[in-house]
Structure 1
Amino acid sequence: MREKKLFQRFLILGVFLGISLSGIHYGSSQELLPYKNPELSLEDRVNDLLVRLTTKEKAHQLASFFPNANVRLGIPHMQAGEALHGICLPRATSFPQAIALASTWDPGLIEKMATITAKEARALGVHHVYSPMLGIARDPRWGRIEESYGEDPYLVSRMGVAFIKSLQGTGEQRFDEDHIIATAKHFIADGEPIAGLNGSAYDVSERTLHEIHLPPFKAAVEEAHVGSIMPAHHSLNGIPCHANKHIMIDILRDTYGFDGLVVSDNNDIFNLMNFMRVAKTWAEAARLSLEVGIDTELAWERSWNTGRAYGAPLVTGVKNGTILAALLDNAVKNVLRAKFRLGLFDNGEEIPEWQDYELSGDKGKTDYKVVTYSDSIRGRDLGGDYFNTLDRLTNPRENAEEIINDPAHNKMALEVARKAIILLKNENNMLPLNKAELNRIAVIGPNADEELLGGYSTPKPRYFVSVLDGIRNHVGDKVEVLYAEGVSLEDFDRENIDEALSIAQKSDVAVVVIGGNEITCKENEDRDDLGLVGQQQALVEAVYATGTPVVVFLLHGRPLSIGWIKEHIPAIID
């Protein structure tokens, strides 16, 4: 009897172990599921994975700049970011703003720059960036000109192709561990808004559309094979770009053959209901965008249940039949293709739970290291909170610091900056100044001692040399350098023009540094006057009137009306 009971216990133990071992075996067999097999084709892997997802899990794949991993199935998170002129993360290399990059007229140089940006982005945990901006800047009142490559479709096309190819890599390096997905934005014609107001409606002929605004995007798709497209905020010929079949399907997909990922601009799917009034509900807004091929939603700071059209409203719409399941599936496939192409499934990296919203909720949105602005003015640019959150969901590599501190990156940033500078005027060869002939230099102006990188920049540069510091470093103790701000770009009541005149009168030459900053030129900071902001014009004229030779140095991101300066100042640097 005792032996029988002992046998039964061993039998039960054996069954238990069998179940446990079978569980372990099942876990390892997951690695052999078709979508995890790198030997299979991309489409076979995507199709196998798609059918394993629930409707809600599918919807989570459509969240850009939001947790989109799935730990249950081993789907990695794809992190987005900004990279107009360097990846927008603390201490990353910052290159000149896009409009200055165009001023180099050197696509080869842009390729080298973008290669560095991509390498730093991947090291810092970013896989997909909302760059470059290929809008043709046709209205000088528009606040986003600094983000563009200018007004010429050919130049914009060449710069855009160079930038995209190097961000993404070519040949065997395409989307490898040192490259990222680029996004050509904003599709289409955002650079000529009514009254210069960002996001305002625009009516355009087919000829202007195809001859002016579309060529850079055509080149981005057909030559550079860009991986992602972002539609524009506005309505085009009365139809919002985020619900516009003609541009998103007929032109982009069918004519150009684009087969990549389309990401919405910020809140623009939501705004089909809230602002554009073409949808009565969020679910209808989601359906309209899915029908024209908008694959992922960027809805910064909006929660899953109360602020995202591709969140709970999409799930409900699919379940009640108001949104076709096939529309959701098509979008999910494009997201999964992007993740597979980037090699995220096959890199062996562990997926943190906080990148899976189903497991961690808002943890990934709250548990991040705050970037401080005590010694930086990056907080001027769209508000500090935006750039405080760009690294929320990133998972940097262990050698990230080594990569971003590569001396070669600093050297390239300096080379690009030098080539971006424009000598607008040099009457009687006044420049370069000969420091051996100078006893005292007056450095004057609101931008002389400021940290200025332009919009969508790193929130914490590794270092910055102002014009004032640069002059002091160059002349050393052999020439006395005096400084006065003169006037302010932000507080028009603050001025010390008398002090500026005093140091100008004592000096052999006055270098006046004026222009704009991240407050006067940025997204949604459009103007009706192209003159210098505040009292800058009065400052320049007053310094000129002292009789001291004057050099004007312009630091700005948009066209400025400088007729008087052009006629009177002998040397102008831009």
Structure 2
Amino acid sequence: MKPVTRIASDGTAYRDLNGNGVMDPFENPHLDVASRVEDLLGRLSPAEKVGLMFHTVIEAGEDGHVLEHPGRISKSATTDVVLGKHLTHFNVHALGDARLAARWHNELQTIAERSPHGIPVTVSTDPRHAFLENVGTSFAANGFSQWPESLGLAALRDPALVEQFADIARQEYIAVGIRAALHPTVDLATEPRWARQPQTFGQDPTLVTELGLAYLRGFQGRELDAESVACTAKHFPGGGPQKDGEDAHFPYGREQSYEGGRFAEHMEPFPPLIDAGVAGVMPYYGMPIGLTVGGEPIEEVGFGYNEQIVTGLLREKLGYEGVVLTDWELVNDNHVGDQVLPARAWGVEHLTPIERMERILRAGADQFGGEECVELLLELVDAGRVTQDRIDASARRLLAVKFRLGLFDNPFVDEDAASVTVGREDFRTAGYAAQARSVTVLQNGVAGSAATLPLTGTPRIYAENLSDEAVATLGDRVARPADADVAIVRLTAPFEARDDLFLEAWFHQGSLDFPPGLISRLQAMAAVCPLVVDVVLDRPAVLTPLLPFVSALVGSFGTSDDALADVLGGRIAPEGRLPFDLPRSMEQVRRHHADVPGLGDPLFPFGFGLTL
């Protein structure tokens, strides 16, 4: 079987990736990256080069082995897609425990060794260190150390903490073979209804830039090397200003609005990240409406199709030379079970899949996210509609990242080390502290009454959506508010449930108003005992109706029940400050321009937070 580790005549140990018994230049660990890339590029078949340009979902078997049949979302058996289609970039979804995840990764790399030139696989992931579970955007931590959402890190405004988090996440990723992060999300959270805010650093471009750079340092280091996780900054040129807050995953959310004239602020985080060497950039799905940049009207097509944005702005004006990876499924519709999600071909819906692919390449992308239709790209090459030089340009960028990450020299991981590293006690402790500290106190005392927090003594507690274990650290649980000294209720920011299109149920969209029945019930509860409310702010909420009767009001951005109890009981001091404005009303939200940071006269402003 190939490859095997051999010793060259000069004593260099190398992996014989093509099995010819000779240390070819691309196999030589002492050569510079550019030389290794050029040597390998000249050896690859058109099919191998094309395979590099696809980055799709892969699913791991629950037993730590590769999945040799289509999964719930992945479309092909692992061996078929690696050896048959020559794909070498995969976005992994659910993973087992650390040992099983490492075992799966090694098995995947062993399959890749059987390809003609042994090109190693790059495994990527969406964020997976926090609480929210959305198969389109992020995964809950499970065995990894658990931290607040990025909004919670933003609430602490501490670049050193963000870098510490990213460094810990990097170590845990590398332990199981994940070498690419489809983050950070440096979009500005300027439209209060937008569903993608949890993974952002909030509304302020200066804070987003500062924390985005710290995040990049923790994952990539000062330069990309064998200890790095390659980051992809998204969503260029800023995905936050979604019209009416609807998300561009879905046809009704395809438009991005710049009525406030603030395009430049949404762009602000990207140049510093580019200068710092971010490995990848991902354009968003959104289609700009009425946007003019430098006096030039921008074509109203999705950013991934937009040559003015990807080539003109990103490549030429900003000088970006790294990988451009499209967001998922711009070419083909996605059918999962009895649901469908149309291709996000906004503005070019009339084009055929092969025409969409040609348009994306002309725009300047290197890699198709969520696709494995290699036959379409080979058809374009065979027909002369896409040149070999164009394919080589993208393949060169993609191979360079693999070489810099050291994957050609050793892509395998240690299963024993993975089980020790992932979820390590000190990692968990740091994440837990950040969860608690990021809690943001909005009100403490009502109608001139004394402060309610921190809770003291051993009060009788009525609680909703708070575990028995957490309540027990604060007092004694009772079954009725009328029997309680204090009530504690955890709420999620309001949203309108939808479940027609695939993925739609995972996205919190629509009105930010709590239903009137809930407000009435909470008011009745507050009439018989002091009421403490925590609102999980995965996006802003209209909290105005709560203020007259809630004794204490806090916001959280990814905080466990136990960590919240530590804050309410005064054992850990909350330090959070709002990463975005909280609106007074939905009318204020509807009047607000989607691209403008801040609401003008919010109920609670960006940066607000009380101390206990």
Q: TM-score, normalised by structure 1?
A: 0.72
* Distance (whole Å) between structure 2 residues aligned to residue 27 and residue 515 of structure 1: 54
- Kindly indicate whether residue 523 of structure 2 is the aligned counterpart of residue 538 of structure 1: no
Structure-1 residue corresponding to 2:119: 75
Q: Which has the higher helix share?
A: 1
Q: CA deviation at 1:278?
A: 5.8
Q: CA deviation at 1:57?
A: 1.1
Structure-1 residue corresponding to 2:367: 296
Q: Which has the higher strand share?
A: 2
- Contact 2:172–2:418 at 8 Å: present in 1 too? yes
Question: Which has more radius of gyration?
Answer: 1
Structure-1 residue corresponding to 2:428: 410
* Distance (whole Å) between structure 1 residues aligned to residue 245 and residue 160 of structure 2: 32
Q: 1:329 to 1:278 in 2, by over 3 A?
A: farther
- Contact 1:110–1:162 at 8 Å: present in 2 too? yes
- Contact 1:550–1:571 at 8 Å: present in 2 too? yes
- Contact 2:182–2:231 at 8 Å: present in 1 too? yes
- Kindly indicate whether residue 463 of structure 2 is the aligned counterpart of residue 443 of structure 1: yes
Q: CA deviation at 1:90?
A: 4.6
Q: Which amino acid aligns with 1:430?
A: T
Structure-1 residue corresponding to 2:274: 221
Paired residue for 2:454, among 408, 420, 432?
432
* Distance (whole Å) between structure 2 residues aligned to residue 432 and residue 273 of structure 1: 48
- Contact 1:142–1:527 at 8 Å: present in 2 too? yes
Structure-2 residue corresponding to 1:319: 382
Structure-2 residue corresponding to 1:254: 316
Structure-2 residue corresponding to 1:362: none
- Contact 1:516–1:533 at 8 Å: present in 2 too? no
Q: 1:274 to 1:182 in 2, by over 3 A?
A: closer
Q: CA deviation at 1:208?
A: 1.9
* Distance (whole Å) between structure 1 residues aligned to residue 17 and residue 426 of structure 2: 48
Paired residue for 1:556, among 533, 537, 558?
537
Q: CA RMSD for the aligned pairs? A: 2.7
- Contact 2:246–2:510 at 8 Å: present in 1 too? no
- Kindly indicate whether residue 294 of structure 2 is the aligned counterpart of residue 242 of structure 1: no
Question: 1:110-129 alignment to 2 at 5 Å?
Answer: 110-129=162-181
Question: Once the two structures are superposed, what CA deviation does each residue of 1:260-314 show, in whole Å capped at 9, x if it has no partner?
Answer: 2111111024477865426633222222212222111221xx5x4xxx3xx1100
Q: 1:83 to 1:135 in 2, by over 3 A?
A: same
Question: Once the two structures are superposed, what CA deviation does each residue of 1:425-455 show, in whole Å capped at 9, x if it has no partner?
Answer: 112232111125x3x11113xx334xxxxxx
Q: 1:27 to 1:187 in 2, by over 3 A?
A: closer
Paired residue for 2:220, among 152, 168, 172?
168
Structure 2's unaligned 5+ residue stretches are 1-15, 58-81, 89-111, 131-137, 249-253, 290-299, 334-342, 556-612
Moved more, 27-36 or 152-161: 27-36
* Distance (whole Å) between structure 2 residues aligned to residue 228 and residue 27 of structure 1: 28
* Distance (whole Å) between structure 2 residues aligned to residue 401 and residue 441 of structure 1: 39
- Contact 1:197–1:526 at 8 Å: present in 2 too? no
Moved more, 420-429 or 518-527: 518-527
Paired residue for 1:196, among 223, 227, 245?
245
- Kindly indicate whether residue 263 of structure 2 is the aligned counterpart of residue 209 of structure 1: yes
- Contact 1:79–1:128 at 8 Å: present in 2 too? yes
- Kindly indicate whether residue 280 of structure 2 is the aligned counterpart of residue 231 of structure 1: no
Q: CA deviation at 1:545?
A: 2.1
Q: 1:570 to 1:294 in 2, by over 3 A?
A: same
* Distance (whole Å) between structure 1 residues aligned to residue 213 and residue 17 of structure 2: 47
Q: CA deviation at 1:533?
A: 5.1
* Distance (whole Å) between structure 1 residues aligned to residue 482 and residue 242 of structure 2: 45
Q: Which amino acid aligns with 2:238?
A: A
- Contact 1:273–1:285 at 8 Å: present in 2 too? no
Q: Secondary structure at the match of 1:425?
A: strand
- Contact 1:273–1:280 at 8 Å: present in 2 too? no
- Contact 2:54–2:369 at 8 Å: present in 1 too? yes
Structure-2 residue corresponding to 1:401: 419
Q: CA deviation at 1:141?
A: 1.4
Structure-1 residue corresponding to 2:189: 137
- Kindly indicate whether residue 233 of structure 2 is the aligned counterpart of residue 184 of structure 1: yes
Q: CA deviation at 1:194?
A: 1.3
- Contact 1:132–1:183 at 8 Å: present in 2 too? yes
- Kindly indicate whether residue 351 of structure 2 is the aligned counterpart of residue 280 of structure 1: yes
* Distance (whole Å) between structure 1 residues aligned to residue 363 and residue 415 of structure 2: 37
* Distance (whole Å) between structure 2 residues aligned to residue 44 and residue 205 of structure 1: 48
- Contact 1:99–1:147 at 8 Å: present in 2 too? yes
Q: 1:131 to 1:155 in 2, by over 3 A?
A: same
Q: Secondary structure at the match of 1:257?
A: coil
* Distance (whole Å) between structure 1 residues aligned to residue 195 and residue 146 of structure 2: 21
Q: Which amino acid aligns with 1:441?
A: I
* Distance (whole Å) between structure 2 residues aligned to residue 333 and residue 90 of structure 1: 36
Question: Once the two structures are superposed, what CA deviation does each residue of 1:365-394 show, in whole Å capped at 9, x if it has no partner?
Answer: xxxxxxxxxxxxxxxxxxxxxxxxxxxxxx
* Distance (whole Å) between structure 1 residues aligned to residue 485 and residue 257 of structure 2: 54
- Contact 1:552–1:572 at 8 Å: present in 2 too? yes
Aligned length: 446
Structure-2 residue corresponding to 1:511: 488
* Distance (whole Å) between structure 1 residues aligned to residue 154 and residue 123 of structure 2: 28
* Distance (whole Å) between structure 1 residues aligned to residue 177 and residue 231 of structure 2: 15
Q: Secondary structure at the match of 1:79?
A: strand
Q: 1:27 to 1:64 in 2, by over 3 A?
A: closer
- Contact 1:519–1:525 at 8 Å: present in 2 too? no
- Contact 1:515–1:554 at 8 Å: present in 2 too? yes
Q: Secondary structure at the match of 2:235?
A: strand
Q: 1:531 to 1:122 in 2, by over 3 A?
A: same
Q: Secondary structure at the match of 1:343?
A: coil
* Distance (whole Å) between structure 2 residues aligned to residue 244 and residue 127 of structure 1: 28
Q: TM-score, normalised by structure 2?
A: 0.68
Structure-2 residue corresponding to 1:497: none
Question: Once the two structures are superposed, what CA deviation does each residue of 1:114-146 show, in whole Å capped at 9, x if it has no partner?
Answer: 111111111112111111111111111111122
* Distance (whole Å) between structure 1 residues aligned to residue 400 and residue 536 of structure 2: 42
Structure-1 residue corresponding to 2:571: none
* Distance (whole Å) between structure 1 residues aligned to residue 434 and residue 288 of structure 2: 36
Q: Which amino acid aligns with 1:99?
A: L
Q: Which amino acid aligns with 2:47?
A: K
* Distance (whole Å) between structure 1 residues aligned to residue 491 and residue 432 of structure 2: 21
Moved more, 316-325 or 507-516: 507-516
- Kindly indicate whether residue 585 of structure 2 is the aligned counterpart of residue 567 of structure 1: no
Q: 1:167 to 1:279 in 2, by over 3 A?
A: farther
Q: 1:348 to 1:122 in 2, by over 3 A?
A: closer
Q: Which amino acid aligns with 1:209?
A: F
* Distance (whole Å) between structure 2 residues aligned to residue 31 and residue 418 of structure 1: 56
Q: 1:278 to 1:550 in 2, by over 3 A?
A: closer
Q: CA deviation at 1:480?
A: 1.9
Q: 1:37 to 1:207 in 2, by over 3 A?
A: farther
* Distance (whole Å) between structure 2 residues aligned to residue 175 and residue 517 of structure 1: 43
* Distance (whole Å) between structure 1 residues aligned to residue 31 and residue 431 of structure 2: 41
Moved more, 331-340 or 395-404: 395-404
* Distance (whole Å) between structure 2 residues aligned to residue 26 and residue 225 of structure 1: 29
